[in-house]
Amino acid sequence: MARERSPALWLHTQPSVTRKMPVCHRILLLLWLLHFSSVYSDITDGNAEHLKREHSLIKPYQGVGTSPSSQWDFWGSTLVTSQYVRLTPDERSKQGSIWNTVPCYLKDWEMHVQFKVHGSGKKNLHGDGFAIWYTKERLHPGPVFGNQDHFVGLAIFVDTFRNDLQGMDRSFPYISAMVSNGSLPYDHGKDGRSTELGGCSVEVRNKDHDTYLAVRYSKGRLTIMVDVDDRNDWRECIDIGGVRLPTGYYFGSSAATGDLSDNHDIISMKICTS
């Protein structure tokens, strides 16, 4: 059974530093590094007191539905069970999404997403992927992993199918980030290459355990890290400054299948303050 994790706070990390260590050792290391004015941090667990429940999607998914008091609602093929939110089943031509109904006014925030992508398709015969959103508008279905194109805000794509056969310098699944003011289209044919802020190749499909993605936005810096081995051993994927995200936007997730398919499951989305 996969363990539950509390969202965690981190400072700016350096990818060359090993992050897996006991909590007490992390604290001592952090104090030592601060003493020498070094810029370092680590992902740590146990910061549940910082959890923003109005923006978090957690088992057993109370507050999900269509009532006026619901904090999350969903669309399309999305199925909410007691153990996961399945955005799409392993079937062709499906789209689904789930969205927080409460706008986020936090200037700095951190999100931990526990997810699982799995299906019967063999290598290169699965798709299309899912996205995590922080956008001005919500519940607008469209061609970008089940959400609208020309969106305003932040998108993080977990793309499991290669469309660009010329782009052999990267392997799939591929995680990338994009920020748009509404004027930029997402180019599926090039797998979003022209508009991405950065990305990394990560094997996330058909794991025997859940996989994790962590996003931190603080003081204009966007950092994305992944743990796909369920060892609390985080790998840096994207770290970029100069990102400007307004407050009052909405968190959500969407997924899509086409001629190929997968189950795209969200187990939790936990938002906390930094």
pLDDT in tens, the chain (274 residues): 444 454 444 433 334 333 444 544 454 444 434 433 333 344 434 356 699 999 999 999 988 987 788 999 999 999 999 999 999 999 999 999 999 999 999 999 999 999 999 999 887 789 999 999 999 999 999 999 999 999 999 999 999 999 888 767 889 999 999 999 999 999 999 999 999 999 999 999 999 998 999 999 999 999 999 999 988 889 999 999 999 999 999 999 999 999 999 999 999 999 999 6
Cβ neighbors of 243 (< 8 A, separation 6 or more) are 154, 179, 197, 217, 220, 221, 222
Q: Hey, which residues does 272 pair with through a beta bridge?
A: 51, 110
Q: What element of type H or E holds 250?
A: strand 250-256
Dihedrals φ, ψ of 106, to 5°? Answer: -75, 135
Cβ neighbors of 69 (< 8 A, separation 6 or more) are 63
Q: Quick check: bond before 173 cis, omega within 30?
A: yes
